[in-house]
Amino acid sequence: MAAPRILILRAPGANCDAETQFAFERAGGIPERIHVNRLREQPNLLQRFQVLVVPGGFTYGDDVAAGKILANQLAYFLSDALRQFRDAEKLILGVCNGFQVLLKAGLLIPPDEDGPLATLTNNTSGHFDDRWIYLQAAPGNCPFLRGCERLHLPVAHGEGNFICREPWFLKGLEQANQIVLRYVDANGKPGPYPVNPNGSQGDVAGVCDMTGRVLGLMPHPERHVLPTQHPRWTRNGLAEEGDGLQIFRNAVEYFE
């Protein structure tokens, strides 16, 4: 079977699209960066691809709220095309700003009649946080995380605080195995800041939709694809690959 094609969605302010393209090329996929305006003009372009990625950055300057403007574009102009894409058992990934976009567009957790059930808001530290963190994976039925256990990846965000409208909904996400990534320390234990860099309820770092095929996460796997991207590789020794590469490889191998 031919290598899967990956659509990396570009928008004003997105700044991780080239790194995401490199990561998928390294994993054996065929990525292509396409601007959101082109996709709005030709929604059928999605049919050529097997994976859709909304990369990190600061789309539209996060002027309204992080990812909100791009989320509105997806919700109001591309919702039918995106639902068809997802229902065709294809994959959707949102990283950092892309996580914010997918969540606010209702692609990860659909809103109810009263509005969003969960969102990503300002870090409880009150400032932008740029650091390396540890993650504990609970892959469930999420193909992106197959075989993943502990990951060491960087975060870089000011609005990564995952909160639910009601406490019972967080428990519901846990019971449905939709919380697939949590912040932990080097020993796999939860903890306060800086272990949890943004104050997320339940130490949530990533969630998937009910199918498992739509994943959003705040840390940046595309920034730890090569082992030399780790800040301590000269002290700890050179690993075979960066921790983030497995996420992209899993997406490619899902279609093989």
- Catalytic residues, by residue number, are 96, 220, 222
**How many degrees, rounded to 5, is the angle at CA 78 between CA 76 and CA 80?**
100
CA pair distance 35, 243, nearest whole angstrom: 28
Contact indicator for 74, 214 with CB cutoff of 8 Å: no
- C-alpha dihedral over 147, 151, 153, 157, to 10 degrees? 90
Say whether 132 sits in a helix, a strand or coil: strand
Instruction: Using the structure block, give the residue that is written with the tokens 């058992």.
Output: 89
> For residue 107, what are its two tokens?
């692609």
**Is 155:129 a contact under the CB 8 Å cutoff?**
yes
- DSSP codes of every residue in 166-193: SHHHHHHHHHTT-EEEEEE-TTS---ST
Q: Which amino acid is at 227?
A: P
Distance CA 187, CA 165 (A): 31
How far separated are the first and last CA of the chain, in Å rounded? 6
